[in-house]
Structure 1
Amino acid sequence: MVSSAQKWRFLPDGSAAGLTGDTGRWMGPRTGRLRRRRRGGLVAFALALGCLIVGCGTSGGGSDAPDQAFGPSTTASEGSGAASASPPSEAWSPSGAPPTSGVPTGPGSASGAPLPAVPSAPLPEDGTQPRLLWSEEFEGPTGASIDPSKWLITTGGNWGPTDVACYTSNPRNVALDGNGHLTLTAIAEESAEPGCAGTKFSSGRVETRGKASWKYGYFEFRARLPIGTGTLPALWLLGPNGIYDWPRSGEIDVVEATANEPATVHTNIVGVDRSGSRWEAGWWGQGKAYVYAGGTLSDRYHTYALGWGPDSLDFYFDGMRIRHIEKKDTPVWLWNRDFYIIMDIAVSAKLSPPLPPASAFPQVLSVDYVRIYDRKP
């Protein structure tokens, strides 16, 4: 089990490294597919027989219209003004409606307790749909960097006593794959990038720090997490000035994963108690960790989401609520200010001392999209 004090790379002296980035392109949510209804052969035969006996008029007959269109409609590509859409990277389903294959069909919490059924948020009185506030679909050519207007690429090493990776802006560590995904790759190597001297691994980390931050809403990530020995992938949010003021800044871990628990979705929040000392809700135990019954977190893409309101935090896995935290559950409520997004794949000596085996690498965190709504879709 990894403590937040050892895991997060925010040092008291505020040391941080330079940040760079290249271009990317945004595309709207992918469109759904349509199904068509088929009439059975027996029904057609019965109708024909009826026509022979009693005669048939010239009515219009049955409808051949599609049943329903899944997903949001095509939206215009940012900056181009042209409508565009792309096919799903894999079997995709709308937010809140996980694919039917490979997902748990019954209770799957670590404690074995049934999960509470949580419907989508009701529509407001004016009948409007949930509004998409911000989106990143990671469309672009293979090897391209991410959009510098949205993201910073964190660089440098020494992010904590057990973090043995150096983050770089090298495309080997941070790049688009050409199929609508961002790939953050951890590699067993002594990187020649600036600030990486003496480190044995390179990796990738990106943030919206200084670009965009949010207070409240529904934050959804679709990603395939690595579970290799020594890796600690995370999709998380950090409060204002978090680089220098952690843990007083506040932290929200939407998901973390480790090799020794490859099917477990760990969630957590970190802050301070009334004395100012570090406090955390914890990432293991009854009602805290969720065990996926359909495989591991690396065998396919899953959605991980946060529903954040003024007095509560809800965590979701494939559209199912798996954890609920209220203001009264915390000694000091820090989650009433703007937070920014971080996605990274850390390499920890604590998870596999003294160093993770080089044979377990490379390991890839692949992110399909990040979408932020004003409330749960």
Structure 2
Amino acid sequence: MTKRFLLALLVVRLMLMPGAGHSQALADTLRHADWQLYWANEFNTPGDSSVVADHWQFAYPWGRNLGGAEAQYYTGEQVTVDAAGLLHLRAQRRATPRPYRVGNGPVRQLSYNSGMLFNRTSKDSLVIPGCDGNRTGFTYGLFEMRCRLPRAKTSSSAFWLYGDPDEVDVFEAGGAPEVISNNIILWSHEFWRLGPPGIANEASQSFFYWNGLGRLPDSLHTYALSWKARELVYYFDGIAIRHETRLLPLGCPLDVISNLGMASWAQDSAAALDIDYIRVYRQPRRAVARPPVAPVPPAPGILRFPHATAGVLGADAPEQRWRWAERPGQRPRLELAVNRNPADFSSLPLPARGRWLAPMVGFNDAGTARHWVASPDSGRSALRWTLYDLCGRPVRSGEQAPAPAWELRWPTLPPGTYALRLWAGAREVRQTVYQLGQPTEHVFSADWLALPAAPAEADATTPAH
């Protein structure tokens, strides 16, 4: 698994275009009724690792440490189930480091013993033709874990799916207890996804932070992934926080893994990942399509291969869909309902108490995301809007005709944070707007921070406040 960080600069583009009718999805929630429970471990029998050994191995089949900056040695002794029905993966600092060699690398000194789970399953009955017949794991499904994250900042916990050449991280947590990420990593020179050996893998990682009551490691939360042939959907506490249609696993089985790592610089005496259950669901049996990109053998004497990523062609454009939320005693807000194909390193708050209040986000280095706002009165009112800079000065204003949903689009504006006010009839909401990215020029200057010129009168109509 990789951890990548980007110092994102705030930049905004905003111009609202008249929108044709566009159906606005309601809050995108996980519906277990659409699935059938296929494989699960509820961890209701207390004891040591032997009580779950029918479901799990306690190390990777290829070793007890992945190398890199991880300093833990995985062993079943660090896996226990308590009387309350929680399985604990515990990291314990050793009195003396343990020598261990990863592959052909140098001998490393591992400072911790820790616990992990690696599924113990037979061949999947849904495996597609062409996959390795000896592979274990699952092909497609809904993968869900309810757990409490570690408090130690030097720990790295995860719930993920892996099978060479693909990896899908349902969540990764480490470095900051209030932040999680989800990640997709596709190796580009294997089986269906051919390419020159050594080409960089393709990955897309999004970050999410907790701003609800208490701290994220204080309570149990659910993390889930719906994996279908043409879409991945990530869930937090039953609310879909990310849809992905660009980077997709091939359809060969992936193993279910949960692990608790410790950084090589860690000084904590202990850490724990507490798991309530892990479940795998399936939809009713149906024909499984082959991967969207087929292997093409190289011509004789030519060592160049076609390079294409499964699922990229025909993928949905980056998009966020919003609904007008009005609750008694609270100011009306826009709630995020759909977050589709976010750019790498995008950072959004996690849903809390069933609501997802987030800023509008676009990216100048990956194309501006499309934003749709559903009409609060079924399309009877027109939409008026004004965008303000941080000093409260209007930057753009306009009006859109009545429609079931309005599409918001932004042109280039200087970097910064903006306030957007929307009026639909007597209703009003205020919304923060960011656009993350970097300037096209690599030389930074004060000119890049300059305010835009005032819009022409013909292009904007300022609504009455």
State the TM-score, normalizing by the size of structure 2: 0.46
Paired position in structure 1 for 2:272: 364
Paired position in structure 2 for 1:188: 93
SS in 2 for 1:140: coil
* Partners of 1:268 and 1:280 within 8 A in 2: no
Shift of 1:195: 5.4
Matched, 1:257 2:173: yes
The correspondence for 2:161, drawn from 237, 241, 247, is: 237
RMSD over aligned Cα, in angstroms?
3.2
Code of the aligned partner of 1:356 = A
Give the distance between the partners of 1:176 and 1:139, measured in 2 at CA.
Answer: 8
After superposition, the Cα gap between the structure-2 partners of 1:191 and 1:219, relative to the gap in structure 1 and judged at 3 Å, is farther
Give the distance between the partners of 2:36 and 2:276, measured in 1 at CA.
Answer: 20
Structure 2: runs of 5 or more not aligned: 5-9, 12-24, 102-107, 123-135, 189-194, 285-465
After superposition, the Cα gap between the structure-2 partners of 1:367 and 1:280, relative to the gap in structure 1 and judged at 3 Å, is farther
Shift of 1:142: 3.8
Paired position in structure 2 for 1:164: 71
* Partners of 1:164 and 1:348 within 8 A in 2: yes
Shift of 1:148: 2.2
SS in 2 for 1:281: strand
Give the distance between the partners of 2:93 and 2:117, measured in 1 at CA.
Answer: 19
Give the distance between the partners of 1:198 and 1:290, measured in 2 at CA.
Answer: 33
Paired position in structure 1 for 2:27: 117
* Partners of 2:58 and 2:75 within 8 A in 1: yes
Give the distance between the partners of 1:266 and 1:131, measured in 2 at CA.
Answer: 27
Shift of 1:271: 1.2
Shift of 1:222: 0.3
Give the distance between the partners of 1:227 and 1:335, measured in 2 at CA.
Answer: 35
Code of the aligned partner of 2:155 = T
Give the distance between the partners of 1:227 and 1:280, measured in 2 at CA.
Answer: 31
* Partners of 1:237 and 1:339 within 8 A in 2: yes
* Partners of 1:157 and 1:199 within 8 A in 2: no
Paired position in structure 2 for 1:342: 257
Give the distance between the partners of 2:95 and 2:202, measured in 1 at CA.
Answer: 34
* Partners of 2:30 and 2:238 within 8 A in 1: no
Give the distance between the partners of 2:253 and 2:274, measured in 1 at CA.
Answer: 26
Shift of 1:200: 1.2
* Partners of 1:314 and 1:324 within 8 A in 2: yes
* Partners of 1:307 and 1:375 within 8 A in 2: no
Shift of 1:259: 3.2
Shift of 1:301: 0.3
Matches within 5 A, 1:50-65: none
* Partners of 1:116 and 1:321 within 8 A in 2: no
After superposition, the Cα gap between the structure-2 partners of 1:311 and 1:206, relative to the gap in structure 1 and judged at 3 Å, is same
Shift of 1:305: 0.1
Paired position in structure 1 for 2:15: none
Give the distance between the partners of 1:341 and 1:191, measured in 2 at CA.
Answer: 31
Give the distance between the partners of 2:79 and 2:148, measured in 1 at CA.
Answer: 15
Paired position in structure 1 for 2:110: 199
Give the distance between the partners of 1:233 and 1:223, measured in 2 at CA.
Answer: 11
Give the distance between the partners of 1:157 and 1:370, measured in 2 at CA.
Answer: 22
SS in 2 for 1:189: strand
Matched, 1:293 2:198: no
Structure 1: runs of 5 or more not aligned: 6-109, 124-128, 243-248, 350-354
Code of the aligned partner of 2:27 = A
Code of the aligned partner of 1:293 = N
Matched, 1:152 2:57: yes
SS in 1 for 2:161: strand
The correspondence for 2:152, drawn from 213, 223, 228, is: 228
State the TM-score, normalizing by the size of structure 1: 0.56
After superposition, the Cα gap between the structure-2 partners of 1:278 and 1:209, relative to the gap in structure 1 and judged at 3 Å, is farther
Paired position in structure 2 for 1:134: 39
Aligned length: 238
The correspondence for 1:270, drawn from 147, 166, 185, is: 185
* Partners of 1:208 and 1:341 within 8 A in 2: yes
SS in 1 for 2:260: strand
Code of the aligned partner of 1:164 = A
Deviations 1:307-362 (A, max 9, x none): 11001111000001111111xx23xx43311111111001123xxxxx211xx231
SS in 1 for 2:83: coil
The correspondence for 1:317, drawn from 232, 236, 244, is: 236
* Partners of 1:221 and 1:367 within 8 A in 2: yes
Code of the aligned partner of 1:165 = Q
Give the distance between the partners of 2:39 and 2:91, measured in 1 at CA.
Answer: 27
Give the distance between the partners of 2:138 and 2:35, measured in 1 at CA.
Answer: 16
Structure with higher strand content: 2
* Partners of 2:49 and 2:76 within 8 A in 1: no
Shift of 1:120: 4.5
Code of the aligned partner of 2:139 = K
Shift of 1:190: 4.2
After superposition, the Cα gap between the structure-2 partners of 1:119 and 1:343, relative to the gap in structure 1 and judged at 3 Å, is closer
What's the % identity of the aligned pairs? 29
After superposition, the Cα gap between the structure-2 partners of 1:147 and 1:187, relative to the gap in structure 1 and judged at 3 Å, is same
Paired position in structure 1 for 2:2: 3
